[in-house]
Structure formats: C-alpha cells, structure tokens
C-alpha cells in the first residue's frame, strides 16, 4: 500500500464508505503492521506513542470512543504517514485558555525524611538516590546525606509531591520508582531481618532483588484510618502497586510471582499480566495490559477505557492542578497515551479533539465541561 492509497482508504473509512473487504484489510493491517509497512521514518513512528488519537470506530451512535495509542495501530500509522490530517486542525479545535500553557509537566522532585525528623530536599536535576546504612547518595555518586552522629538510623521516608517523581535503590539493591504524590518508608539496612518490609502510599514500581530466605513485603496503608490495606509478598520480581486514597488498590505483576493478602485473610497469587484489585476489602484478579499500567514509569500517561474523572485524576497528580466539573459528565470512555513531558495545554487540546469533552482554564484550576 502506498501513501496515496493509504490516504484514500482512511478517508473512506472516516466517511463510513469502506466495504467489508476494505474494513477487513484495515483490521488485518492493524494486527500485522510489520508485514505491510508504509514508508515511514523511525522518528515519525516514535511520535505515535506521544499523541492521543481519535481512533476506530468513528461512528458516534454510542457514547464510547477510542484514542489509539498502540504503535501497531493502522489508523494511527496511516494518519502519521499522510501528515496527521486525521486530527481536527488547531483552528477548528475548541480553544483552551492560554493560561493552561503555563502549567508545565511534573519532574524529578522529592523529599527525604530521616528518622530524627530532619528533611532533605533532593536535587531536581537528579533522577534518584542510593541508600546505604550510613549515607544516601545520588545515582551519579554525589552524596545527598551522610550520617553525622553515632546514633543508629532506623527508617527513612522518600516522598514525592504532586507533580513529582523519583527513583530509589534500597539497601538490598532493589529498585523503586515512585510516582507523583507518593511516599515509601523503608529501613536503612535489612541486615539481620527476617523480611524486607517497606510501606507505600500512592504508586510505585518495584524491581526486587532476589533473596530466597528473606521475602520482600510491600505494605499499603489507609492513611486516613492508619490501618493496613494489603500486603504484597515477593522473593524477586517486577510489579507495580497503586494505592492512592481515592482509588482501589491495584497490584500489577510484570514478571515473577507475588502473593497479595488483606487483613481479613483473603489472599491471591498473581502470574505475569495479572492485576489484583482491592475493593470492599476483597481481592479480585483480572488480566491487564502491563504496558499501560506501568506507562508512567516510562514517561507516559496512559489509560484504557477510562472515564474522564479517572483521566483527570491522573493529570491532576502529575500537573499539580485542581479539577472542577461543570454540568453533566461525559459518559465516554477514553483510551490512549501521551508523553508526560508535554505541557497540559497540549494534552487538553488532544482530549478536546474527541469532541466529547471541553475545558476552561484559570490559573491552575481546570473546569471540565461536556
């Protein structure tokens, strides 16, 4: 298929004039893109993961649309191949208040709280820290904090604000990526301990160092009630835990095996691709796309079949904004991915291109309208 043929076919689809055979071809091309490549540069293909697309199907009989983010998406790749004409032009979009352009994305921001109450503001141009029993250094070796007395340090807490993220290498070599508005509390040494326990609020991705005789345990707490929500027990694996107070606790396994338990005795064991969801003190397990669940760690904001409230909650945590809803909320479901490095004005314009939602911005306050 050449560029001209691709353009004609997509225009026909947009107009609802494709034959069944042409629709079947598009679907087949979607599933087997590598077998039917267009002449598209690597840079253009890379852009696909950085935009939200209005995707198939186009018909608006039901209040459901899709925003295609898969690199293999026929509609997305075809759109890029013909110059992204698929989008509503900038002049046709509902205008987002220019103040939104001043709301920049989040970045590397965190605070380290020592067990004596001392707080260390971590340098923003650094991406993470390495913890040992007598010092904390940045990933490049620069010292962030060195113990200055003989008193044994016990615990430390790494916290990110709204609009922040940070990375920590724990004393056992396990790696943790902390999302915005989150915190993790951990001991400065695991020596002599029967288990490696950390306490999480918010969201984090873990790559746990394997130690067969000393399990790694992630405990999440209900901050408002100061009660445990659940525990994740592992020996060595990669997984994501999302435990924000306004959401159900979600544990997503990428690699290895974990056991998730709650105080009432309910337990589940996860396999790669499984996600446990804690709702009403019960654990339920489902299969998910792990790429979507850990997209934040890889510099993306991603969502699948999410309502506008869920989408805006993710944006609010990363861009440090206040969201207000006006009138009846859209019942549309959104799926897509957008780079976390974009200013929020760009993200809002992409969402508005669906014609399902509109925004009004005043300072850091964003009003969502149907």
pLDDT tens for each residue of the chain, 370 residues long: 565 676 677 667 656 677 767 766 665 554 444 333 444 444 444 444 444 443 333 333 333 333 433 333 344 333 333 333 333 333 334 445 445 457 889 999 999 999 888 999 998 888 999 998 788 999 998 998 887 554 555 899 999 999 999 999 999 999 999 999 999 999 999 988 899 999 999 999 999 999 888 999 999 976 555 556 799 999 779 999 999 987 899 999 999 999 999 988 889 999 999 999 998 889 999 999 999 999 999 999 999 889 999 999 999 999 999 999 999 988 888 888 889 999 999 999 989 988 889 999 999 999 999 8
**Neighbour tally for 216: CB within 10 Å:** 24
Tell the burial category of 47 from Cβ atoms under 10 Å away from its Cβ (0-12, 13-18, 19+): middle
What local confidence, expressed as pLDDT, does residue 287 receive? 96
What local confidence, expressed as pLDDT, does residue 152 receive? 55
Strands (E), 196-330: 196-207, 216-222, 227-234, 238-243, 249-255, 258-261, 267-270, 274-279, 282-287, 300-306, 322-326
User: In whole angstroms, how far apart are CA 295 and each of 51, 172, 203, 243, 326?
Assistant: 14, 25, 12, 16, 29
If you search the block for the tokens 């589940």, which residue do you land on? 268
pTM of the full structure? 0.75
The token pair that represents 269 in the structure block: 């064991």
If you search the block for the tokens 């200055």, which residue do you land on? 148
What local confidence, expressed as pLDDT, does residue 79 receive? 38
H or E segment and range at residue 48: helix 42-48
What local confidence, expressed as pLDDT, does residue 35 receive? 37
Enumerate domains of the chain plus CATH numbers. Answer: 3-81 (no CATH), 98-104+299-369 (3.55.50.30), 107-293 (2.60.120.1440)
What local confidence, expressed as pLDDT, does residue 227 receive? 56
Determine contact, residues 190/172, Cβ cutoff 8 Å: yes
């Amino acid at each position: 298929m050449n560029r001209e043929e691709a353009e004609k076919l997509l225009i026909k689809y947009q107009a609802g004039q494709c034959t069944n055979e042409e629709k079947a071809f598009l679907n087949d091309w979607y599933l087997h893109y590598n077998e039917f490549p267009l002449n598209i540069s690597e840079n253009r293909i890379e852009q696909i993961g950085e935009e939200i697309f209005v995707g198939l199907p186009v018909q608006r009989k039901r209040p459901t649309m899709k925003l295609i983010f898969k690199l293999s998406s026929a509609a997305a790749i075809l759109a890029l191949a013909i110059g992204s004409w698929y989008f509503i032009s900038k002049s046709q979009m509902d205008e987002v208040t220019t103040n939104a352009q001043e709301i920049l994305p989040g970045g590397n921001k965190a605070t380290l709280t020592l067990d004596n109450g001392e707080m260390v503001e971590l340098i923003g141009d650094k991406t993470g820290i390495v913890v040992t029993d007598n010092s904390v250094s940045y990933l490049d070796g620069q010292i962030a904090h060195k113990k200055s007395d003989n008193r044994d340090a016990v615990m430390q807490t790494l916290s990110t604000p709204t609009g922040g993220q940070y990375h920590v290498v724990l004393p056992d070599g396990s790696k943790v990526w902390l999302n915005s508005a989150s915190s993790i509390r951990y001991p400065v040494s695991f020596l002599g301990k029967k288990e490696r326990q950390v306490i999480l609020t918010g969201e984090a991705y873990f790559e746990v160092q394997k130690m067969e005789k000393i399990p790694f345990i992630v405990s999440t707490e209900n901050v408002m009630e100061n009660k445990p929500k659940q525990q994740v027990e592992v020996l060595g694996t990669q997984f994501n835990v999302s435990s924000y107070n306004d959401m159900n606790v979600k544990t997503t396994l990428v690699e290895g095996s974990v056991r998730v338990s709650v105080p009432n005795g309910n337990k589940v064991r996860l396999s790669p691709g499984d996600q446990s969801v804690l709702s009403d003190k019960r654990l339920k397990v489902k299969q998910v796309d792990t790429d979507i669940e850990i997209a934040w760690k890889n510099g993306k904001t991603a969502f699948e079949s999410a309502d506008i409230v869920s989408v805006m909650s993710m944006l609010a945590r990363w861009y440090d904004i206040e969201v207000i809803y006006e009138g009846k909320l859209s019942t549309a479901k959104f799926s897509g991915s957008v780079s976390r490095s974009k200013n929020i004005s760009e993200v809002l314009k992409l969402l508005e291109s669906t014609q399902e939602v509109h925004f009004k911005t005043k300072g850091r306050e964003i009003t969502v309208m149907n």
